[in-house]
Chains A and B, each alone.
Chain A
Amino acid sequence: MKTDCILNVDHLSMRFGGIVAVNDLTFGAERRKITALIGPNGAGKTTVFNCITGFYKPSGGSLKITHDNGRQIQLERLNDFRISKQARVARTFQNIRLFPGMTALENLMVAQHNALMLASGLTFLGLIGAPSWRSAEKRAIDLSKLWLERIGLLERADDAAGNLPYGDQRRLEIARAMCTEPALLCLDEPAAGLNARESAALSELLLRIRAEQDTSILLIEHDMSVVMEISDQVVVMDYGVKISEGTPQQIRDDPKVIAAYLGADEEEAIAVMESEA
């Protein structure tokens, strides 16, 4: 391997009955970089995400995560919550999945469950109010405050998450995922439903995460302005297979990608591209 990849997807296949959603997909996500996974609707992007984050068991292939300390974990062998707990892969959802009846702060506290569970001595130390638990709780609140400040929601920390505007909910979900202190953050269409100003704020947040945290980002996105602005590397999928991979500039100029998006054959696509240029 030439590049330092945090995630290696190797010959991944996912079949639902007779339908092949992902077919022999191979790509890598570079460490501390932003990798975008794009493609037309129904290309199998979310299926790839669900395989990575343990919601589906892949039909074939392997998913390997390599942590900074060199520890390697095969994701397809872990299930469900262990992906987040042991492999430190966090995700957000296409349709926001916050805890609507809990406050923004509580949402971020729930994300720190595993660390706090240990600090509370599996609840027993916490029940008697041991000093070690109190200080751990305070640190957790401080971390939550830090993230609330970063997403500009410090003032609304005590509001129910379900009461926040849509754009704030999107950012809160990212902050919640970041509170699990992940090595890889998987974002499923983070800019969906956002207006231009909100998606600019989102791009800024993601660039900041890349710059300041030890977190690599993998995102699915349809909003090309966001993809082109922040991605270091883009993987394009169509009908379950990878059709292109490269820098945003390379992808922009790839006739295969244009053909996939415009549904035209290559010559027509090139014609369209040339007429635009």
Chain B
Amino acid sequence: MAGVSASARGSSAASPAPGAAFIFKKALISALVALVLFSLMIGVRTEAGSDGQLTYMTRFGDLAAMVATVFGGSIVVELLRQWWGPVGTIRIVPPSVQSGLALARRGIAPVLLVFTFLVPVIFYNERYILDLGILVLTYVMLGWGLNVVVGLAGLLDLGYVAFYAVGAYSYALLATNFGFSFWICLPLAGILAAFCGVLLGFPVLRLRGDYLAIVTLAFGEIIRLVIINWQSLTGGPNGVTGIPRPSFFGIPLTPGDDGLAARLGIEFSTTHRIVFLFYLILALALLTNWVTIRLRRLPIGRAWEALREDEVACRALGINTTTTKLTAFATGAMFGGLAGAFFATRQGFISPESFTFHESALVLAIVVLGGMGSQLGVALAALVMIGGFELFRGLEQFRMLVFGLAMVLLMIWRPRGLIGHRAPTVFLHHSQAISSDLVKEGHG
């Protein structure tokens, strides 16, 4: 199918305006390929019969509908492509529109930030939106954390969820076994996760690209399997229950006499806790953002980016690539651990179910989609990925399909992510964005 469409694209590029015959021929070929592919996948359905024997039924109606959709879709796509013109055409945009766009681009971050601060005020009575906001912010934080490893240092990490799990279990176990408060456990969770980051870093120092990805993937699974099997400590598949909720700097958010509501003399509401959690994760995410922005302007951050650009040149300049890689892993892991601790206190219950590969893939998708290395891009991508996923909830089982299609379209439109260019960390005269064509993606 890919071959067919590629060759068709080649011929369409050769002749600028292909006629109706060409479009019809291309649609016919696509439909034929669809017929061959789907005749077995959709046309015939096999099932275990009542006695266990194999029975089959045909669904030629569905098959015909599918082939017709491909035929029609192919024509629509080709017409759209003609209307849009060939890829790479320079479209003249009036200067006023350009300056407007530039202003919008500069204004988007502060506007988003102010809006985020106001979300609990605007949607105070809408529990669903507040919960969704907390979820989005958790993924924003995870995205920003992974961005240090993948976006800045260029080390592909497919096992990021391991650090999320370490942070969550650190808080859960420390709080339930020793009764430590959230504010003591939070830094401890971060430190333990960072330690795990270094632990992962050592064996993968020499690996690059695909090999690095596979080992980090395995690391994520190892942590999950250890959690499942170390029943005496982690409770295994049953998880940890009764994780204490966070207190407002020592004052519990409970209906009792010593609760925050009673002390302030206002009526107790469960929304208080949700709002508190919202601002808590917002503060943690902003901390992650602030630290990352600061680190980029420090020698260590520049060394991370230099490592992504050219590791050999780094060594020739006397940069210790070992410690540079390890600090990148540790920093990313620490933020993952902090987010994990927050996750545990928010849920009140954690189990290995929450830390599957799916989470790693989701966070990595957020980073890649946002544009590797871009803080604003990652935040937007988290909003699109998590928020968009909720938006399609009405579509039920087609949700994944629509969502996947949206992702594919987005990556065609913006192959280097929503914000692909790189902002320099230091400048003499004026800061100008560096085109994504020049910025390397790192080799692992």
Contacts and interface: CB of A to CB of B under 8 A. Distances in A.
A120 B299 contact: yes
A103 B427 contact: yes
Contacts of A53: 316
B318 A102 contact: no
Contacts of B315: 54-55, 80-81, 84
Interface residues of B, number: 38
Nearest to A145: B428
A158 B429 contact: yes
B302 interface: yes
Given A53-B316, A90-B316, A126-B298, A105 B303 contact: no
A149 to B, nearest CB: 11
A101 B316 contact: no
A97 B310 contact: yes
Given A90-B317, A160-B438, A110 B303 contact: yes
A114 interface: yes
Contacts of A243: none
B256 to A, nearest CB: 39
Contact of A105 (B318, B321, B426): B426
A162 B295 CA distance: 24
A97 B319 contact: no
Residue of B313, B318, B422, B430 most packed against chain A (CB within 10 A):
B318
Given A81-B320, A110-B319, A127-B295, A101 B439 contact: yes
A176 interface: yes
Interface string B277-304: 0000000000000010011001110110
Contacts of B303: 110, 113
B282 to A, nearest CB: 21
A238 interface: no
Nearest to B294: A127
Contact of B312 (A97, A102, A117): A97
B427 A105 contact: yes
A148 B434 CA distance: 19
A126 B299 contact: yes
Contacts of A163: 438
Given A97-B313, A99-B313, A106-B425, A127 B298 contact: yes
B428 A117 contact: no
A110 B306 contact: yes
Contacts of B317: 81, 84, 90, 110-111, 113, 176-177, 180
Interface in A185-233: none
Contacts of B438: 100-101, 160, 162-163
Interface centre among A93, A117, A163, A180 (most CB of B within 10 A): A117
Interface string A155-180: 10111101100000000000011001
Given A97-B313, A102-B424, A126-B298, A84 B318 contact: yes
Given A99-B305, A110-B306, A116-B299, A85 B426 contact: no
7 contacts: A55-B315, A85-B318, A106-B305, A106-B424, A123-B295, A127-B295, A158-B431
Interface of B: 291, 294-295, 298-300, 302-303, 305-306, 309-310, 312-321, 327, 422, 424-432, 434-435, 438-440
Interface of A: 53-55, 80-85, 90-91, 93, 97-103, 105-106, 109-114, 116-117, 120, 123, 126-127, 141, 145, 148, 154-155, 157-160, 162-163, 176-177, 180
Given A97-B310, A177-B317, 5 more contacts: A81-B321, A127-B295, A141-B426, A158-B424, A160-B434
